[in-house]
Chains A and B, each alone.
Chain A
Amino acid sequence: MESLQVGSVVYTTRLTKKFRNRPLWKQPDMKRIESIIPGTIQRIMAREGDEVTAGTPLLIVEAMKMRNEVLSTVDGVVKKIHVREGEMVPKSHLLVELG
């Protein structure tokens, strides 16, 4: 037996696997651009130190037979590029850090 709080009361009950494995929400950091789908880094247009505006294409990820442009989320500077051309990345992999 475990416990679960609903409202102000803590109930004694069993938990499910799904519940225990549920993803806990993290505040998204706009300056960290992560991959939304597994794929291959086809081309990196940006360079560290570049000044970019929101919407500037930074790199191209090939996934599901399509070339997906990854755009800058904010105005800023490209602080660090964490991937190389040709690299295969999984989902939620850090691609670019903006500053």
Chain B
Amino acid sequence: MSDALSERLAKYLATKLNAPDLTVHDLARIPGGASRETYRFRARHGGTERKLILRRDPPASLIETERSTEYRAYEAFHKLGLPVPEPIALELGCEALERPFFIMAEIENAFVGSILAPDPYGAHRAKIGQQFFSILGRIAGADPKTLGISDFEGASAPDQCWKHEVERWEKVIEEDEGEPQPIARAAVRWLKRNPPPPAQKISVVHGDYRSGNFLYDANGDIRAILDWEMAHLGDPLEDLAWAIDPLWAHHDPSHPAGTLARGDAIKVWEQASGLKAEAKALAWWEMFASLKGCAIWISAAHEYATGRNDDPVNAFSGWYCLAYHNKVLADRLGTLA
């Protein structure tokens, strides 16, 4: 990895942490999604060593989000005691490393479940599922004001959450579609014609809470919920519907996230959140989840096709994930017609 980047990072951290003798070692890029460049490195100073992660904006970001959102979400939920990496530093300027970035603690000896694996959690699937849906319930039940993130982007009134999100993702489709999308367009119209009931409360919505976006260890303990960059305020059912979307079910939609049976997963979420997942409302948000997926994959394909971000994951999303969600939507909407 570039010595120049290591040196610039060391210089920044030495000032930021008031540690003039700080040095950076073993800087290496690691997989971490297409929307941020992710690097692992070690920072040494005062006879100690810390294993850290750098998340830097790419030249073009997949989904344009407020840069401080992910970092502030880590700060808020770390204080609340949820398993998230400890945030270390946020830099919004471009002077230090050419692009905005943040630094957080590395979670060691932990794994990510590949969304393509048929059974990534094996014998730990029930234990992981219990934690996965319980943590999501705690996020849903938390008060954004108490957390200090009530200024996050999103809807401010419970009856506007659905509209805010549909319009947000419809705009992404309009801006990025490289070819006409009749199924996604039909989904947008259906969602607008059949609005859900108002949200039970305004919650922090993680925005991408799913299998593959958390770290777990060999004992089946979830060590960190990752990738909060799409966090916003909204209806807590949005996250639940995304978490149980069939794309993240490891080829078995009856066991969302490759873990618990669907009914059990929803019960765990309800108990942890103190909220209800009313069937009709959840069905609307599930339809929305697949539409949101389409929008994200259309955007990924656009980034790749236009050369703004040539991470091959974007091409994979544009082919595999978009075709998958188009089929989910066509099956669901076709049945309702």
Do A and B assemble together? no
